[in-house]
Amino acid sequence: MDLFFVNHYRFDFYCTQGHHEGMSTTARVIVFDTTLRDGEQAPGYSLDVTSKLTMAHALDALGVDIIEAGFPIASPADSEAVRQIAAGVRRPVIAALARTRAQDIEEAARALAPAGRSRIHTFLATSDLHLSAKLRITRDECLDSAVSAVTLARNFTDDVEFSAEDATRSDRDFLCRVIEAVINAGCTTVNLPDTVGYATPDELREFFEEIITRVPNAGRAIFSTHCHNDLGLAVANSLAAIQGGVRQVECSINGIGERAGNASLEELVMALRVRPDRLPFDTGIRSQALFETSQLLSTLTSEPVQANKAIVGRNAFAHEAGIHQDGVLKDARTYEIMKPEDVGQSVSSRLVLGRHSGRHAVQSRCETLGFTLTPAEVGEVYHAVISLGEHRKSIGDGDLRRIVDRVRTPASASAAASTAHVETVGYGHGV
């Protein structure tokens, strides 16, 4: 039985835009954003209610299918944030997290009450390590709690997700029993987290293939992946899980989340966009809004984005080395696999002037600023940029204007002439 054709109705319910399964050779993957739950619970990333609401509106504009808005039982502020998001953000499904305890589920249901479309996301660990060391319960008690929680949650909404925490380190036979039981109890999405970021991509793909094949009622639920980044594999693992049959990915803006974080939403989305030849899947994300959404999160949390962060880091499309600048000016495809504007990054910040820059980039930036330089002037400005770059991280437009003014004063005209022969390529610092 093929889950993804059997479950058409439910799939269309979540996917409010973009490609639809069965209508295209590109299969649609549901984006479940957990920035405001797993992300927000990480040190340094906590947000007040107003900031959470602002972020939720941005996630809606970005096109995520599901916003996990918080963990209502955790605090009154968390509950209030979920309630305000449920009331104010109408297009996406709004999800709230709950342990399997009745109080958790009832509080989640209360907070979600104003939502147009709500999901209760209940979770319980299934690995023997978590059962014995943390929860101190037996496998049978675990199974009963999971089924009772899903049954209770279904009284409040017909959209219930169950997560088997530490699924990737759980006994496979027991995990399959739990999954079958929760689906029979009415669970519509089965999330199998790699809670501690331990899995490898090939392993996770096989894991989902095996489980979806073995669980007899798998066709009645959507399978989901939730990967942590402890080994830096969260995105690779999530992509492998998609190849193994999952159709929901749990991820966060800038990859924020517990410890090393969750799979980064922007990296997942762009991997699918840039490599449909290897990964024939797509999402409903408006990729042009990725950069501003990442920046908004950084502003609201006062946590900077790593400069070389893929897709949204300030260096993700920046070129300082002369050879690269020359290539990009001739044809951007030489060093770029996607366009900065496709993810909302500015094209103008692409060429960074510094001590590694080349003559071609210096000239091009001068032209952008309105200066048409003679070959001799280009030579002198280029050398001035290189030597200023020895003392500065980068050289801005103001610096460049001052250099051009200096070069164009009569006193420096003869110096310009004497340096004109020095280099004709000018790939920058020692290259």
> Which residues of the shown chain bind ligand KIV in the complex (CB under 6 A)?
38, 123, 163, 165, 191, 193, 195, 226, 228
HSE-CB at 52 with a 13 A cutoff on CA atoms is 31
Closer of 186 and 261 to ligand KIV (Cβ): 261
Contact by Cβ (8 Å): 81, 49: yes
- Using the rule CB under 5 A, is 38 a contact of Zn ion? yes
Q: Total residues contacting Zn ion (rule CB under 5 A)?
A: 1
* Minimal distance, residue 191 CB to ligand KIV, in Å: 6
Query: Which residues, including other chains, have CB under 8 Å from residue 235's CB and lie 6 or more apart?
Result: 227, 229, 255, 263, 264, 267, 268, 271
Closer of 38 and 40 to Zn ion (Cβ): 38
SS3 assignment, position 82? helix
- Using the rule CB under 5 A, is 161 a contact of Zn ion? no
Closer of 195 and 283 to ligand KIV (Cβ): 195
* Minimal distance, residue 358 CB to Zn ion, in Å: 45
* Minimal distance, residue 262 CB to ligand KIV, in Å: 8
**Distance separating alpha carbons of residues 417 and 55, to the nearest angstrom:** 56
CB atoms near residue 310 (< 10 Å) = 16
**Distance separating alpha carbons of residues 429 and 136, to the nearest angstrom:** 62
Closer of 21 and 165 to ligand KIV (Cβ): 165
Query: Minimal CA–CA distance to 354: which of 332, 306, 386?
Result: 386
* Minimal distance, residue 41 CB to Zn ion, in Å: 9
Closer of 166 and 282 to ligand KIV (Cβ): 166
DSSP code, position 307: T
* Minimal distance, residue 5 CB to ligand KIV, in Å: 27
Residue number with the smallest Cβ distance to Zn ion:
38
Query: Which residues, including other chains, have CB under 8 Å from residue 407's CB and lie 6 or more apart?
Result: 377, 380, 381, 384, 416
- Using the rule CB under 5 A, is 21 a contact of Zn ion? no
Contact by Cβ (8 Å): 250, 34: yes
* Minimal distance, residue 269 CB to ligand KIV, in Å: 20
The option from ligand KIV, Zn ion, none interacting with 163 (CB < 5 to 8 A, set by class) reads ligand KIV
The option from Zn ion, ligand KIV, none interacting with 389 (CB < 5 to 8 A, set by class) reads none
* Minimal distance, residue 38 CB to Zn ion, in Å: 4
Closer of 11 and 32 to ligand KIV (Cβ): 32
The option from ligand KIV, Zn ion, none interacting with 165 (CB < 5 to 8 A, set by class) reads ligand KIV
Closer of 147 and 227 to ligand KIV (Cβ): 227
H or E stretch at 387: helix 375-389
**Distance separating alpha carbons of residues 293 and 55, to the nearest angstrom:** 8
Query: Which residues, including other chains, have CB under 8 Å from residue 32's CB and lie 6 or more apart?
Result: 64, 65, 66, 68, 95, 224, 248, 249, 250, 251
Q: Using CB under 5 A as the criterion, which residues of the chain lie in contact with Zn ion when the complex forms? A: 38
